Amino acid sequence: MSSIATVRSLDHLVLTVKDLQATVKFYEDVLGMKHTSFSSGGQDRHALTFGEQKINLHVSGREFEPKAQNVQPGSGDLCFLIDDQVDDVAKRLHGKNIEVLEGGGVVVRTGAKSKLRSVYIRDPDGNLVEYVSPHATDKHLLTRPRLSNELP
């Protein structure tokens, strides 16, 4: 049976948040994302951009339609590929008094394509945020050529 469509990449996802300003500050300061605002359907909207993707932000109780069936701040689990070494990131997080989960350091996990070195923290709403870089034996993934089904 063939599929209805073939997914090639992720454009955006939505986080429902309690405090828009606290969320924006966290993702700008801790993850280096850029805050952008735009108007859609006469309503002011907010997003965080990084790479070719974005995270749209919905304030709890003031979500935009259509929306997920069960929205709740703090229910997200986000994993971000980074260019930095996660050991250095863990040190910088500790230096800013940001709690690093999983024993306070780097752990090895299995990602979509390889083993990953991960550092876990939580955002202001309690969403799980994971910084990852390829395992030492998979460093080629940082500089691998773009696949034919990936956006330029």
Identify whether the C-beta of residue 50 lies closer than 8 Å to the C-beta of residue 34.
Answer: yes
Beta-carbon contacts of residue 121 (< 8 Å; ≥ 6 apart): 30, 93, 98, 99, 100, 101, 129, 131
Catalytic residue among 28, 52, 130, 150: 130
28 flagged as catalytic: no
**72 vs 142: CA distance, rounded Å:** 33
Catalytic residue numbers? 130
